[in-house]
Structure 1
């Protein structure tokens, strides 16, 4: 459609208005929520973590399909194998989905030469959690992206966008979208290609929406590996000061219990900045202890800022006054459809004005304007909602209330009926660390659930988290430890963490079994299908690759003990390629106590 000269001018206003809005967003990255005067441009802190794409010819909803690691997020948009008008980018909370969308917005606004957004006429980036009951895209654009631009109306936006040859729509946070249970809105029509079928659309989410078109392509963010962590420290914390970089990395290595947590970019970012800012020793025996330290840092910063010296008063605020916050957090998670945001006035009334102000001030809670349910098409109204800085903080406070409930509950199954341990793993881990007695009840409850964490390794691992002793690690590692294709990401993460704890404390690992179908090699690094890297294990004695056609020859050292079966592999075995065999040998050479690879 040819635009009139008036609309051509309004198109300029529209693009300038969008860029102004996006700049305000991407210039406000806050690595430490309690340091509100230290904001960064996204391009100064953005580091690419792991990203994989599913290359299955048709949409797959589970972990199946052929997943391949990409070198850059840009390949999601440029790799011909991933060509599609609809792309889903999945990731757990804190894995950088929203940060990635802001980097794309930065690229578009600044005409970054090698960005996939380079030749896009108009980029629309909407945070779905803010939309409330707004059903129509153009109304959402006007309300959230161009409310400051009176020269461009909703009707103008519709005409201009429909005239463009290249539009990219990014819908951020489908799992937090208030209208996700309804199909009667533009968001769902766009996802299903019933609307704007010729536009490129990216959707970020934790889980897949229903009724996706088969041509929809999937990518997933897998978190920070060592390379990404090193890059972030240099880029955003200390610069290219090798000694300072190594000090921060050493603090992480000294805390093997945090290995899985620091795969989460948001958590590692906080750890890196705290490790740089604090000179005292940071040694943690459990995830619970680490999170206590994070919360204490929030309050310590507030005290320094206010120049409060009464530590007893601060401890009272920290320990005694968050019971209602605990309850609210638990109520939000223990629902069929989790509630992760609340109306400000109602939330404030429950916790009390003074406590609410404090939570906002130190960064545990954040406020956000969303469209009110009372809005109409002609009169868009806003209300202020409040949410936790990150879902992990919600799980932390909910764990305190969970402990109280579990200790007093006659029917624990009814009390926890909506708590999914796969989705809320840290809620259970925090609770086990906060109270060993409650932890025992929780472990027994988890063991009773069908299909949930039934393997002995997982139960023992939870006992380890609860007790923070190494006796259970020694017992576990004296037997065979298995990582299998059907294991959940939680179980794989738990098992690798346990193995790393054993190696870091010189505990022998008798035998590690790996399903060949559950791993892949990137050089001499072993990557599990969940995206988790298997750490180097100096104390492992045997590694068996199950489900492949490789065997050992008796009496030979691990360096030359591979041979092929003469017969063709059976249907239950895959061929271990020569390249993978070589990479496995290289991995084994780094495990100094290895006696057998097969």
Structure 2
């Protein structure tokens, strides 16, 4: 697992995690009780992840580690596993390390079942009871990666929920990794909060020198020059996933120098994925053009996945094949935008193959195409958000009456649209849609501008749209009438606009 890491799927170049891993900015919540009393969060920066398990001010039995999509949560989990395998302090304090990817569980109530099905060889003589006894008699670190993608969120009778509530594995160290905005809010008081904040300049320099340029100072300087001269790439590179893709793709690729919006960058990234098939002589140029233009079924499934009561990030392989057609499906699998993964369904008592996007950002890209096309219809409107907006997994009961599974519910006549999509969770969806369709952009900008708290997203959408400000003068006037706080952690695009 730690020897098969690909920063860019289609390049097929694999790295050992120790070659690829660079510490993202990591912070911990200093005084949880004080934060509870006065409502203010005080975060302290750490040099690396290791003090989490050694510093008495931080050390806990239950941790929640969150970060935006692409900020390196899964990579950090792999690095912890690598350090444990090599008996590196402080991981050598644990006799057993268990790393579970929660997205692979469907109707799996027992964590011992999960360990047997996913971590042990299929012919292992150990039973689930044996696993329980072994864990009970050892010092254990359990890494639960991807709570935001966990299929059984809200089921209070699973072992995962028992662990989060502190009713199971009290003597073991547990790290729950999840997307920012998808926190089990009711249990935050009993846990230590850790968060990833992306790459700073020093971290980016280290990655470029060690991983991309492979020690070449000349190549490293050329890449850094490109990043410095393009504010959009600088903003994107705060996200480690974008940063890795841009560095590897921009290397000896002058086309990247002329890109000026997030949409431009991602459109070019997608073209690079497909064009690589031409270089490898696996797909002709005409076929690439057809695939680039014909992904409507994928767009719709991506948007519906974001619109459901519980976020859907994977589908049955057979279902997706049927809706996309075999040749399109095979193309997306070959280039790495779609990934097949073995999932255990306890109810079916069998393994299944499910298909997911390489990363949630790709899910938002294709969903944005569907939104951009459909919302350009003059009859489609946006429904106002409630004053207190709770994202998907903070409250499992609040959206039960808002099931969005068909076109009539999503885009029918005067029907409203996107009730359950929070800009804090899917701001790239909105930004991509604005860059893809000017008509939809005007609707989104107007809608975001009318809702306080989303001013920065409104500005970013205006940048993606790129039209004349006179067309959004009412929104700009509204923004100027409100106080907007800008700090050094905001994107350079927002800072430059203001």
TM-score range, shorter chain: 0.7 to 0.9
CA deviation vs aligned residue, 1:552-578 (integer Å, no higher than 9, x gap): xxxxxxxxxxxxxxxxxxxxxxxxxxx
Q: Would you say 1:171 and 2:141 are equivalent positions?
A: no
**Cross-structure match for 2:490:** 493
- 1:467 CA drift (Å): 1.0
Instruction: Tell me: CA distance 1:292–1:458, structure 2 relative to 1, closer, same or farther (3 Å).
Output: closer
Q: Would you say 1:94 and 2:90 are equivalent positions?
A: no
- 1:464 CA drift (Å): 2.4
The answer as to whether partners of 1:460 and 1:472 remain within 8 angstroms in 2 is no
Instruction: Tell me: CA distance 1:123–1:63, structure 2 relative to 1, closer, same or farther (3 Å).
Output: farther
Alpha-carbon separation, structure 1, partners of 2:204 and 2:483? 28
- 1:148 CA drift (Å): 3.4
Match of 1:357 among 330, 343, 354: 330
**Cross-structure match for 1:407:** 376
Higher Cα radius of gyration: 1
- 1:448 CA drift (Å): 3.4
- 1:277 CA drift (Å): 4.7
**Cross-structure match for 2:50:** 74
TM-score after normalising by structure 2 = 0.86
Give SS of 1:28's match: coil
CA deviation vs aligned residue, 1:288-322 (integer Å, no higher than 9, x gap): 111111001001111111265x5344222211x10
CA deviation vs aligned residue, 1:490-517 (integer Å, no higher than 9, x gap): xx735x42334x6xxxxxx7xxxxxxxx
Show the 5 A alignment for 1:109-128: 109-112=85-88, 115-128=89-102
Structure 1 runs, 4 residues or longer, greater than 6 Å off: 468-473, 479-482
Q: Would you say 1:188 and 2:161 are equivalent positions?
A: yes
**Cross-structure match for 1:275:** 250
- 1:469 CA drift (Å): 7.4
Show the 5 A alignment for 1:429-508: 429-449=431-451, 451-453=452-454, 455=455, 459-467=458-466, 484=485, 493-494=490-491, 496-500=492-496
- 1:280 CA drift (Å): 4.9
Give SS of 1:26's match: coil
**Cross-structure match for 1:83:** 59
Match of 1:229 among 204, 220, 226: 204
TM-score after normalising by structure 1 = 0.72
The answer as to whether partners of 1:409 and 1:415 remain within 8 angstroms in 2 is no
Alpha-carbon separation, structure 1, partners of 2:204 and 2:217? 14
**Cross-structure match for 2:113:** 139
The answer as to whether partners of 2:448 and 2:457 remain within 8 angstroms in 1 is no
The answer as to whether partners of 2:147 and 2:176 remain within 8 angstroms in 1 is yes
**Cross-structure match for 2:8:** 32
Match of 1:104 among 80, 99, 124: 80
CA deviation vs aligned residue, 1:75-99 (integer Å, no higher than 9, x gap): 1221111121111111111100011
CA deviation vs aligned residue, 1:258-304 (integer Å, no higher than 9, x gap): 32221110110001111225355532111111111100100111111
**Cross-structure match for 2:311:** 338
Give SS of 1:263's match: coil
- 1:374 CA drift (Å): 2.7
CA deviation vs aligned residue, 1:355-402 (integer Å, no higher than 9, x gap): 000010011100111112533xxxx41111111111111111111111
5+ residue gaps, structure 1: 1-24, 503-508, 510-598
The answer as to whether partners of 1:26 and 1:106 remain within 8 angstroms in 2 is yes
Alpha-carbon separation, structure 2, partners of 1:353 and 1:311? 19
**Cross-structure match for 1:564:** none
Alpha-carbon separation, structure 1, partners of 2:113 and 2:282? 46
Alpha-carbon separation, structure 1, partners of 2:282 and 2:119? 39
The answer as to whether partners of 1:329 and 1:397 remain within 8 angstroms in 2 is yes
Instruction: Tell me: CA distance 1:482–1:149, structure 2 relative to 1, closer, same or farther (3 Å).
Output: farther
Alpha-carbon separation, structure 2, partners of 1:373 and 1:89? 27
**Cross-structure match for 1:157:** 131
- 1:484 CA drift (Å): 2.7
